[in-house]
Structure 1
Amino acid sequence: MGVSDEIERLLTSEPLLAHLATCRDGRPHVAPLWYTYDDGVVEVVTTGRKLANLRENPYVSLSVEQSTAGDPAWTVTLRGRATVVEDEAQFREANRRINRKYGAGDEAWEGNTLVRIEVGSASHRVYD
């Protein structure tokens, strides 16, 4: 199942936080993070509990929302499979892409690891 043009437009429209849901001991763990999206693949850099969870269970859900004062304009929900990428050069390049999207410098977030999420399904809702 591909990601629609509308969902791709929403995911790349502005620098918004994503909420990544992983699984730990059969229970959900959700955390906000920065991301990039391109052609069915989400890239994040992370560490700690999220990364440990992904190493144990690669199935994830990711949500992105654009809202003003808690009033949503749209939401996107993605589900997919994560791959931990241990390559330092790929990490640094992905980290630069993510930082540029959010207006941060090119400095790498030391201690983080690149994770690529292959989107398996996507849904969205636009609110009037």
Structure 2
Amino acid sequence: MQPDDIATEIDAARDLLAATAAAHLGYVAADGTPRTVPVGFWWTGEEFVVSTAPEAPKVAALRERPDVALSVEAGDTPESAQALSVRGRVEITVVEGIVPEYLMAARRTMGEESAADFEAHVRTVFDQQARIAIRPTWARFYDYSDPDRMPAFLQRLVATSGS
């Protein structure tokens, strides 16, 4: 997939990314089996940033196998369902203190007072965090209310169903 195509897909998902703070990260664990874990994320405009403790099992696994998938979803009905699927490679950096994007992602879902309390608590828990940056190498935005943004196989099924 070309960089312009990736940018177009992610741009189409900008409202989803602005309104959603959680995603699912898919990777291959140290034992060679697949994992999908819920994560908070922040989109910087160039990369998705996920943060965790440097000792987290996923950090070691991602260092060994840096190819990942990330899925951001929203909507409880067929008319409101949207999803951004991303594939990419991670770059891990251990930072002293708290990853700034970690706090930005948390603030998106909290009021000022709650965010301040959360940050104060987090600063007592983490001396360091692993900043997991995902640079997209492929992306696709699905909007199930828009026939042009449904997966191609569903478009074909709808077209041949006579509905």
- Aligning the two structures, in what range does the TM-score lie when normalised by the shorter sequence? 0.7 to 0.9
Letter in 1 for 2:39: L
Report the CA distance between 1:69 and its aligned residue: 6.7
- Which aligned pairs between 1:116-127 and structure 2 lie closer than 5 A? 116-127=133-144
Identical pairs, percent:
26
Query: 1:17/1:71 Cα in 2 relative to 1: closer, same or farther (>3 Å)?
Result: farther
Secondary structure of 2:81's counterpart equals strand
- Give the number of aligned pairs: 126
Q: TM-score normalized by structure 1?
A: 0.83
Q: Residue 148 of structure 2 aligns with which residue?
A: none
Matched, 1:102 2:112: no
- From the two aligned structures, give the one with the greater strand fraction: 1
1:123 and 1:35 mapped to 2: Cα distance?
17
Report the CA distance between 1:50 and its aligned residue: 1.7
Q: Residue 36 of structure 1 aligns with which residue?
A: 42
Q: Please list the CA deviations of residues 34-58 of structure 1 after superposition, one character each: whole Å capped at 9, or x if unmatched.
A: 1011213000112422222111111
Candidates 65, 82, 96, aligned match of 1:57: 65
Contact 1:17 1:34 in 2 (8 A): yes
Structure 1: gaps of 5 or more residues = none
CA RMSD of aligned residues (A): 2.3
Report the CA distance between 1:117 and its aligned residue: 0.8
Query: 1:67/1:9 Cα in 2 relative to 1: closer, same or farther (>3 Å)?
Result: closer
- From the two aligned structures, give the one with the greater helix fraction: 2
Q: TM-score normalized by structure 2?
A: 0.67
Query: 1:28/1:71 Cα in 2 relative to 1: closer, same or farther (>3 Å)?
Result: farther
Contact 2:21 2:106 in 1 (8 A): no
Question: Which runs of structure 1 show a deviation greater than 4 angstroms over 4 or more consecutive aligned residues?
Answer: 69-72
Query: 1:125/1:69 Cα in 2 relative to 1: closer, same or farther (>3 Å)?
Result: closer
Report the CA distance between 1:72 and its aligned residue: 5.8
- Which aligned pairs between 1:1-128 and structure 2 lie closer than 5 A? 1=3, 2-4=6-8, 5-12=11-18, 14-24=19-29, 25-47=31-53, 48-68=56-76, 73-88=81-96, 91-103=98-110, 104=115, 105-107=118-120, 108=122, 110=126, 112-128=129-145
Q: Please list the CA deviations of residues 70-116 of structure 1 after superposition, one character each: whole Å capped at 9, or x if unmatched.
A: 98611110001111111225x43222212212324324362642111
Larger radius of gyration: 2
Contact 2:21 2:108 in 1 (8 A): no
